Structure formats: structure tokens, C-alpha cells
Amino acid sequence: MSDEKYIFSAGAKKNILITFVAGLVLAAIGVVMMNMGGHDPHGAEAAAESGHEAFKWTKRLYANLWINNVFFTGLAAIGIFFIAIQYVAQAGWSVGLKRIPMAMASWLPIGAGLMILVFLFGSHDLFHWTHESLYAENGGDEILKGKAGYFFAPFENGGFPFFYFARMVVFFSVWYILFIQIRKQMLAEDIDGGITSWKKNVTLSAIFLVFFGYSSSVAAWDWVMSIDPHWFSTMFGWYVFASWWVSGLALIAFIAVLLKDKGYLKIVNQNHLHDIGKFIWGFSIFWTYIWFSQFLLIYYANIPEETIYFVERWKSDQYSGYFFLNLILNFFLPFLLLLPRDAKRHSRFLKVVPPIILFGHWIDFYLMVTPGTLKENGGFGLLEIGLIMVYASAFIYTVLHSLAKHPLVAKNHPMMEETLHHHI
């Protein structure tokens, strides 16, 4: 058990490659259909009549790339966050699971590269505030002029958004540097034993948690909330974090039960699954609490510049179905399916609920991004399905490749005895 190591088989690699290629093909077909008018029911004529710029298929492509970038980057960041929480809390129950989030975090440099590339090439299609004409002295947008320093300082308003871009680079850099240091100590623990590496990781994890607490909220404002630049919510940072966090927990549980089915992670038993199941159940409720609190405050105040955000989603023929599907997938189903004690202790439930949550929170990010970027031209078709398959297969390949490089269990972890005798 102490030398347990995952073997990334040729068959698994082949299946992932097939999924990746199939996703590319579906996405390409989706683009072709959009150009033929299949996914653009309003068309250029309707756009011209309303005085708006004609819809371009590239805008929908960039929107979907951005959704997947933010979603999968969040899963990687939560991998580090989960590990850091365990060290700072001096938790023993999770020793057998910690190599899974460590592998998830390996996506971070890939996610950083994709985020930067999509922003550099697609920022005008994604973010209304990037258009130079909005900052003209005569006319323009007075609200965005007041926010311009947050995006463009120290450069000219409407130019290159240096301050925005610098934040993105700094966040990814610090997250990844701290992750490399934490992983280094986790692997050193396997060789050296003792508590020296463990103590170093407690310190590193505390630093990460403080930085992530601020940077994750600012990243949520930058990467998601600024898509609707006239609207803001003081709860939005927590909202995005909650979506990332419960998605990350679901993925950790899902990978764990799949590994156990293959004969790995013998150290993980029903008690450990029960704990991760309780976290998933509890934080699904937490996400719903944040969602409802944000919604209720805006609904009750009934201020037009605030309510427009929900009107575009709840009252829209294009998005209302996803609005309610979001609540069903992310609250009602996880709440009901994981409510019984036994459901949190058996793998058959933890094979069903996590995929529901992962897709549900992808829909959550879809609702955060698409209405603000595409307006009435949004949809869910072959392009969306294809890009989900492309990103998911690339992400899973990265995770499994990372898992195969190191032992699955931290054999010299100072709390190994606690996890071996963990019972609830």
C-alpha cells in the first residue's frame, strides 16, 4: 500500500485521445453550422435592423473558450486550496486523498497559458470595457470612465489593459510558485519522513490561503464580473469561489472512487468517502446560500441597474431554462441524493453525484459569461459540447499523467496512523 503507484495505461490514453479528437470534430461542425445559420436564428439582418453589430461566430467561440478556461483553471486552483486547507487545519483524515488534488493543480500552467492567449486574441469579443471608443472625451461611457484606472493604469484609458493583465499574470505566477514549493515538500516527505517537510508545508499553505483569499475574489471580478461592466455584486467573489470549491471537491471524490474501482487507494475506505461526501453536500448548500443571498438582495431592492443581470437570465427565452437547470443540478439533486448517510459512504452514489455537480457548475459559469458576451445569440450546441470534451480530456490527461509520476499515497506522512484508524 505504501508504494502504491498509478499506471496510466495505453488504453486510457487512447480513450482520452479519441474523446479529444471527437470534441474537436464536434466543435468544428458547430462552427460550420453557425456560419450556415444553423446556430444563429437572429441572423445579420435582425442585428442590422436593431442597430447592433452583426453577430460573429468567433464571438461565441471565444465565449466558450473563456468559460472552459475559467472553469478548469478553478479546478486546478482548488487542488492547491484543498491541500493547503488540510495542512493548515492539521487534518489527518485526508492523507490518502491528497495526491489527487496535487495532480489537479498540475493543470495550472496550461490554464494560465490558455487564459492569457484567449484574452490577448479575444478580449474585444469578451469584454465590453476594452473598446477604446468608450473612453472618448466627448461622449463615451461615463461609468466605465470612472472604472478605467482599475483596468488600464498606468496606460491610457482604452489602450492596453496593463493593470488587468498584470493581475492575471501575478495571480497565476504566485499560485503556481507556491504550488511547486508545496509539492516539493510533499514529495520530500516520502523520502525523508519526520515532520520537517510537514511543518514547512503548514507555513507555505498558510501563505497560499491568505493570498488566494484575496486573489480569487479579484480574479472573479476581473475574469467574470467585468463581462457585465455596469453591474457589480459585493458577493460575487464568494459566489465564484463557492462554485469552484464544490466542483473541486466533486472531482476529488469522483477520481477517488474510480481509482478504488481499479484497485488503487486501498488506504481510502467508507469513512474517508463519507467525509468528502459531507463536504460536497454541505458546500452545495453553501453555494445555494450565496446564490440565494445575492439574488434576494437584488430582487428585493429592485434597482434597475442591479436587476438587469437577473432579467437577462431569468426572464430570457434563451437562458431561462439554464437558470432553473442551474438550481436543479447544483442544489436539489446533490442535496437529495447525498442526504442519507449511506449515500455518502458508497461509491455508486459518488459516481453519480459528482458528474452532475461538475456539469451543473459548468452551466453556472455558462450563465455568468454567455448572456453578457453573446446577448440573444447564446445557445448550447455542438460547439459547446465539443469544447467541453476537448478541455475535459486535456485536463484529465494532465491529471492522470501527474498521478502516474508519483506514489499515490504519502507513505511517510506524520498523520498516517490517524488516517488508517479514521472512523466516523
Cα 27-32-35 angle, rounded to 5 deg:
130
- Is residue 15 situated within a structural domain? yes
Question: For residue 101, is it within any domain?
Answer: yes
Q: Would you state the pLDDT for residue 193? A: 81
pLDDT recorded at residue 128: 95
Output the nine-digit C-alpha cell for 394.
486535456
**What type of residue sits at position 372?**
G
What are the φ/ψ torsions at residue 407 (nearest 5 degrees)?
A: -55, 145
Contacts 24+ apart (CB under 8 A), 180-186: 182/80, 182/83, 182/84, 182/87, 182/208, 183/102, 183/105, 186/83, 186/98, 186/102, 186/410
State residue 55's pLDDT score.
66
Structure confidence at residue 54 (pLDDT):
56
Look at residue 39 in the predicted model and tell me its pLDDT.
Answer: 47
Q: Is the peptide bond before 154 cis (omega within 30 degrees of 0)?
A: yes
Q: Cell for 68?
A: 472552459
- pLDDT in the model for residue 421: 87
Q: Look at residues 68, 404, 111, 73 and name the one whose alpha carbon lies nearest to residue 248.
A: 73
Non-local (6+) Cβ contacts of 305 within 8 A are 230, 231
Comparing CA positions, the residue from 296, 316, 294, 319 lying closest to residue 369 is: 319
> Which residues form the domain of 334?
10-43+58-419
Domains of the chain: total: 1
Q: Which residue type does 260 have? A: K
According to the model, what pLDDT value does residue 3 have? Answer: 76
What pLDDT score was predicted for residue 247?
Answer: 98
Domain annotation covers residue 332: yes
State the sign of the Cα–Cα–Cα–Cα dihedral 176, 177, 183, 186: negative
> Quick one: pLDDT at residue 41?
43
Distance CA 268, CA 95 (A): 9
- Mind listing the pLDDT tens digit of every residue in the chain (424 residues)? 457 899 999 999 999 999 999 999 999 999 999 888 644 444 444 443 333 455 688 999 999 999 999 999 999 999 999 999 999 999 999 999 999 999 999 999 999 999 999 999 999 999 999 999 999 988 889 999 999 999 999 999 989 999 999 999 999 999 999 999 999 999 998 888 889 999 999 999 999 999 999 999 999 999 999 999 999 999 999 999 999 999 999 999 999 999 999 999 999 999 999 999 999 999 999 999 999 999 999 999 999 989 999 999 999 889 999 999 999 999 999 999 999 999 999 899 999 999 999 999 999 999 999 999 999 888 999 999 999 999 999 999 999 999 999 999 888 889 888 888 888 7
Give domain status of residue 335, yes or no: yes
Q: Is residue 349 part of a domain?
A: yes
> What pLDDT score was predicted for residue 34?
86
pLDDT in tens, 138-183: 888 999 999 999 999 999 998 999 999 999 999 999 999 999 999 9
Task: With respect to residue 271, please indicate whether it lies within any of the assigned structural domains.
Answer: yes
CA-to-CA distance for 384 and 23, rounded, in angstroms? 9
Strand, helix or coil for residue 407 = strand
Burial of 230 (0-12, 13-18, 19+ CB in 10 A): middle
Q: What pLDDT, on a 0 to 100 scale, did the predictor assign at position 43? A: 42
Q: Is residue 3 part of a domain?
A: no
Q: What is the dihedral of CA 131, 137, 140, 141, to 10 degrees?
A: 100
Report yes or no on 4 lying in a domain: no
